[in-house]
Every structure is written in C-alpha cells, then in structure tokens.
Copies of this chain bind each other. A is one copy, B any other.
Amino acid sequence: MGQLLRWTAATAAPQVEVALTHENVKLIANALGTPPPDVLNEVHGAGRLVAALCGAAKHARAHRDAGVDIVIAQGTEGGGHTGDVGSMVLWPEVIDAVPDTPVLAAGGIGTGRQMAAALAMGAQGVWTGSLWLTVEEAETPPSQMESYLAAGSRDTVRSRAWTGKPARMLRNDWTEAWAAEDTPDPLGMPLQFMVTSDAVARGHRYSEQAKDVMFNPAGQIIGRLNEVRRVKDVIYDLVEECIDTSERLAQLMQDSGS
C-alpha cells in the first residue's frame, strides 16, 4: 500500500529517481492521468519507456500527445482506479484512437482466454493486476488473502471511499458505511486519502482485526482467483490457454467455412 502515500509531486519524484537507479527497470507506468513532462523527460532521458493507464479514448490521445510510449486501456472490470466503460467496448475504442501507439489491454484478464480475446481485438499485449494478489509470492497479509480468495465477481464495488476517486475494491463494511445515506460523502482526491491513509496503513498492519474494514483493491476477475498459486504456474496456464483459445477460434472458423 506504500505507493498510496506517494501521490504528490514532492514524494513521487524521488520514487522515479530510485526506480531509475535500477537497470532492470525498463518501464515506468503512470496509473492515474498523463505523466507530467518532467517525469516523462527524466524517464526518457534514462533510456526507459513510459506507460500510462486510461479508461477513455480521449485520455489515450492525451497520453500519446504527451509522449507516452505505451497506452494501457483498462476497462471497468479492473481493480483500483478505473473508469466505467467495459473492456469489451473500451479496448477497440482506444486501439483505434491511437493507431500508432502500442496498446496493452487491462481490466478483467485472469486467464488465457481473456488474453487471447485481447490480442484478437488488436491489443499488443495484456496488463494484469488482480491476478497477482493471490500468488504465493504476493505480500498480501493472510486475512486479506482470505477475503480475496472468498470473493466472487459480484463482490467488488467502484467506490470513492478510500482515495476520493472511483476505484474498484472488495465491498465491505467500510465501503458500505461510506455509501450509506446517513453518512458524509467521500471527499475528493487528495483530501479523502488524508482522512483514510492512516486506516490503510493500520489495516495492513493489523489485518486480522481490520478484515472487514480494509482497503482491498481488486478487479472483478477476483471471482476466479480461489486458490493460492505460484507465479510460474499462473504464467504457464495463461500462455497455454491463450494458445488453445487461438486454436479453437481458428478451428471454429474453418468448420464454419466448410
């Protein structure tokens, strides 16, 4: 959750500097909005690439015009800050909006079938998030892991209750309390996070006690993540199923044509 504390220029700049001291950092991605010119210049100056997430075609064009190298189109299915247009509609819209820029598809991808669908629709690759919350290698605390493994695809909500901007997370007592009619509306960003940042940190530290009021960012694909797996097994299955899916589609087209 540490990255949530770095939402000002003053605290973000040193992060970029530290990242660039590591030679294996080839790409820096901006999750919220178009990265500012100084960040773009610094990263490009170091010979690395910049990516930026978007939830609308106009954001994709703004990213491209600013000099972003890779656009990540994230549909509403995705976890964390996300827009309200579904991946099935958003991906082709963004791909067509910035035809000369590589687009990665995000939002709802947890299996090779979804990966194949994204590639078929013209994405250059896929970007996954929730998939890594439930791997053995994740830093997810045990009680949060229980929440993630138990959640279904309908157990998430887009809420401003933690950061002030709409983000997808597991629905729990915290999100319900902020959504209630007799409680205040969340503030905007960054004010709401000033209200909640302490709770984020403590929730992570005392996750057992805080289980029902924790910040559990996750996309709707969390419904398919029901066991703890190793990263290498997840990757292997993704690739295998992607290939199988491609072959099924080719076979289907051949059968239909004959």
Q: Which residues of A does B touch, CB under 8 Å? A: 56-57, 75-77, 83-90, 92-93, 107-111, 113-114, 116-122, 153-154, 219-221, 223-224, 242-243, 245-250, 252-253
A88 touches B109 (CB 8 A): yes
When C-beta atoms are compared, the residue in chain B nearest to A108 turns out to be: B88
Q: Can you spell out 25 A-B residue pairs with CB atoms less than 8 angstroms apart?
A: A75-B88, A76-B76, A85-B220, A86-B86, A86-B88, A88-B88, A88-B109, A89-B220, A89-B223, A92-B111, A113-B120, A113-B121, A113-B122, A114-B121, A116-B249, A117-B120, A119-B249, A119-B252, A120-B120, A120-B245, A120-B246, A120-B248, A120-B249, A242-B253, A249-B249
Which B residues touch A219, using CB under 8 A? Answer: 89
Given contacts A85-B220, A86-B88, A88-B87, contact A117 B121 (CB under 8 A): yes
| Number of copies of this protein chain within its complex | 2
* Chain B residues within 8 Å of A86, by CB: 75-77, 86-88, 107-108, 220
